[in-house]
Each structure stands twice: as structure tokens, then as C-alpha cells.
Amino acid sequence: MTKQGFPFLILALAGTLAPETVRASSVKIHEVLGGPAGYIDLHNTGAGPLDIGGWSVQACTGGATPTELATMPAGSEIPAGDHFFITGQGFGGTVQQVVVESITGDGEMLLDRRGARVDSVGWAPSSPCRENQAAVACPGLAQARNAASRDTDDNKADFGCVRPLP
């Protein structure tokens, strides 16, 4: 390779993200309740709307590799400060933007349309979805961030047990 082509190679490689790379984003996994009546609440903490069409949520189910749980349809958008819900079939709430059979696993991972990790939560110490320390398990309760969706990249510090949405 010539010296002239070298900067272009560096720029091309710099724009390529590995799937496990965490990208800065205003969308956070705000709250999770597992099971067929469960839900995942995504929160846009930014000042503008965000197109999440083509983004996906992966479930960590005990193995080394997460499995596909849901893909957001084209045109899916979260207005500034608003929420987007992925719900299990048995969810009794009124807001159901993407419906899946059940919210499964010991953690969830949000990926952008390029497959780069945007945010994740795991409540098992070995979960590949966890960020730093695992969140405390909350049997019968949901796991949620504070109202501002604080994200320190440490699930134990960021998530607490709360009453699930009705």
C-alpha cells in the first residue's frame, strides 16, 4: 500500500464498529419486566426525535450469544423525552408499539441498525447483556432507571426494583 492510500484505510476502518461497541445515544433501556405480560420501555432522553426503524433488541438467555427478540419496523420514531414499548403478548397496558411472544432472558441489549450496541441491562452476573456489575434481580417487579434514565454504564448502580406498569 502506498503512503497516499494509508490515510484512507485508517478512515475506512475508523468508521467500522464492532457489534459489541457501545455507542453514545440518547435512547436508553429505561425499564424491563420479563415474561409474556412483560415489557421493555425505551426512553429518548434527547432534545429531538429519533428514528429507531431497523434497530433491534436482543435477549440474553444464558448463552454466550444473545438472540433476536424484536426489530423495530421502518418508520418507528421516539419523540424527544418520550417512550417506546416492546411488549409481551399478555401485556395489559394500552401502549404496545411492538408485540413479541414474551420478554425473555436474563438481560436485554439494544442495537442500532448497524448492529452496534446502544444500551443494555443484565441481571445475571454472567449475562453478556450486563454493563459492569449486574442489576439486582427483582422477582415479580420491574427493573428501572430513575426518571431521567441515568446511565453510568453500571447496571447495579443504574437500575432498581419498581412496581411494574399496570
Q: Give the pLDDT of residue 25.
A: 85
Confidence bin at 54 (pLDDT 50/70/90): very high
The answer to whether residue 76 scores a pLDDT higher than 50 is yes
How far is residue 122's CA from residue 96's CA, in Å, rounded to a whole number? 23
pTM: 0.84
- Name the nearest CA neighbour of 46 among 157, 148, 121, 155: 148
Domains and CATH numbers, the chain: 19-162 (2.60.40.1260)
How far is residue 134's CA from residue 142's CA, in Å, rounded to a whole number? 15
- How wide is the angle at C-alpha 147 spanned by C-alphas 49 and 37, nearest 5°? 85
Q: Give the pLDDT of residue 63.
A: 79
CA separation, residue 105 to residues 4, 28, 63, 124, 146 (Å): 49, 18, 10, 10, 22
pLDDT tens figures, 105-145: 999 999 999 999 999 999 999 999 999 999 999 999 999 99
The shares of helix, strand and coil residues in the chain, as percent rounded to the nearest 5, are 10, 35, 60
- Name the nearest CA neighbour of 26 among 150, 133, 122: 150
